[in-house]
Structure 1
């Protein structure tokens, strides 16, 4: 109601962060009644897209794994009643990644000196992505900024990703063959690499508490060679650990059984476009 009353000129679209669907269902129910021409667009993270999947399949879909960066919208499944309204009233969903969210947090800080939490900046990132994709100019759009629950730990992560999301910075990836002197040679003209056979790349989500990373290393380090490890504290309930291991195809069932016994969420990185650079193959 406030949005419609305060906008003096025609409104093209309203972008709303989506978790369980309650906020966007309420906004859509009112706006579509008084201004049916205004588009209602939901915005979700790529790794917490329960509404987008539910709309695509025509029924509520429960996610097995959920990204927790934008924890304010991290829901396994959307609400039953809210989904009924959203299916009828929403005009679409925009999906954004972590870098885009971080870029929007930085944009808001530089413009208004206000700091949003990731879920709070979600609609802002979605509105920008939508306008860029459709080349939208000269139209009025509204993005619902829904929260500012930010910690210093997470703010550090945001600052690292913001310029990547703005396309002002890139993160190159390469590898150094596992031979003596190759790192030094890496700083000179590139050389031929060596290969590691049967290497897999797996991402684990572990609790951010003392001993959690060591538990993971103890579980696999005594059985398989760990060829790569990437972990950084992110100031949230679960931290991502990217692990490269040498696992024979005949050992995959044993590996999965051990991974399942740890009680942590995990996934094999098989569709990541940077995989050929991260693996030594």
Structure 2
């Protein structure tokens, strides 16, 4: 209504900022920094003033989401000047931890790439002003996984029926991690919920990962003998636990491989179940922290490819937008036969593909040159235990 024009440019904050600088150079427009400006930081600091007015007594720690650092710099500078004993704790995703790395190094670090699941904090470099203030006033930065963020989104929904975006629930995820590490703390802890710009399509992915992030579900790969009574023995080993997922396919005549999800109380409970399975004579792997297993394998357990030759397995990532998958396929070209391909659109900002290529050793250098040329983040996964267990062309792990 005010006559402003919205321009969507780039796949992350750094791309958009670079384009803004270009517009400023080409015109008489003024660039208003989103976080690295003393007045913006001061405005963010009013959040600290509100917290102090609402809960002035007994405050021990404030957990603040960190992207470029504007919010935490303003809150920290204000609160430390009024109640210096209060702890200011920043929270970042492991895959977008520019402030954590910068404070560790004593200088601003530029990340080569950032994960954009929590897109509100997907910043490659923190601000100059914000970094200086954080060096002075911030006590600690805690890092959390995407699964922990999903669990925090679920917690907020369960308590308030409000749905946070990933960056919005980031601080609560950090508070929960800190509470688990040091449960004996007294006083009040506050987590800032910073936004609810949620795409509805993302909720399926978040719901799927929340139980893992809450340590309420564990994923296992289990080998059982292919013989009468073996399945019953396996169920006995699981006990009275709730099975959340069960995928089975005949592997060969002497054994079967199972991908199973089980409800647990905590990570220690998962470790105890793994020991129990092994003590009862089952080969078992805990895949709860295996990103490829959680993203791809659980949806495509389908047996080994005995005909595949010289198979090379890679994960790829690309910014999700209309046509992105076709663009990816076109860049791959048809030089090598694709023996495996898995892609799921989870409604998130990052497209993920698992692909297998039949590449003879004589073509390996040319294949690696192709990976460099297409310039997508890629991760070799041919040695991944989940792949070897369920999809490898051989017999799986010994």
TM-score range normalised by the length of the shorter chain: 0.7 to 0.9
1:159 paired with 2:271, answer no
Partner Cα separation in structure 2 for residue 187 and residue 52 of structure 1: 52
Q: Choose from 73, 84, 89 the match for 1:25.
A: 73
**Equivalences for residues 159-198 of structure 1 within 5 A:** 159-172=207-220, 183-185=249-251, 189-190=255-256, 197=310
Partner Cα separation in structure 1 for residue 365 and residue 176 of structure 2: 44
Q: Choose from 82, 105, 122 the match for 1:34.
A: 82
Q: How big is the alpha-carbon RMSD for the aligned residues of Structure 1 and Structure 2? A: 3.0
In structure 2, do the counterparts of structure 1 residues 251 and 76 end up closer, same or farther at CA, with 3 Å as the change threshold?
farther
Greater displacement, 77-86 / 194-203:
194-203
1:44 alignment partner in structure 2: 92
Larger gyration radius, structure 1 or structure 2 = 2
2:377 alignment partner in structure 1: 266
Instruction: Give the count of matched residue pairs.
Output: 271
In structure 2, do the counterparts of structure 1 residues 97 and 258 end up closer, same or farther at CA, with 3 Å as the change threshold?
same
Maintained 8 Å contact 1:64/1:76:
yes
Partner Cα separation in structure 2 for residue 120 and residue 277 of structure 1: 32
2:177 alignment partner in structure 1: 129
TM-score, with length taken from structure 1? 0.84
1:203 alignment partner in structure 2: 316
Partner Cα separation in structure 2 for residue 86 and residue 128 of structure 1: 22
Extract unaligned runs of 5+ from structure 1. 176-181
Maintained 8 Å contact 1:105/1:117:
yes
Maintained 8 Å contact 2:311/2:339:
no
Maintained 8 Å contact 1:117/1:149:
yes
1:238 paired with 2:350, answer yes
RCO higher in structure (CA 8 A, sep ≥6): 1
Task: Spell out, residue by residue over 1:236-281, the C-alpha distance to the aligned partner (whole angstroms, 9 max, x if none).
Answer: 4431223333445664543343234335x313256x9x92222436
Q: Choose from 250, 261, 275 the match for 2:384.
A: 275
Extract unaligned runs of 5+ from structure 2. 1-48, 224-247, 258-303
Secondary structure of the residue that 2:115 maps to in structure 1?
A: coil
Task: Spell out, residue by residue over 1:11-45, the C-alpha distance to the aligned partner (whole angstroms, 9 max, x if none).
Answer: 22111000000100001101111111111111011
In structure 2, do the counterparts of structure 1 residues 2 and 220 end up closer, same or farther at CA, with 3 Å as the change threshold?
same
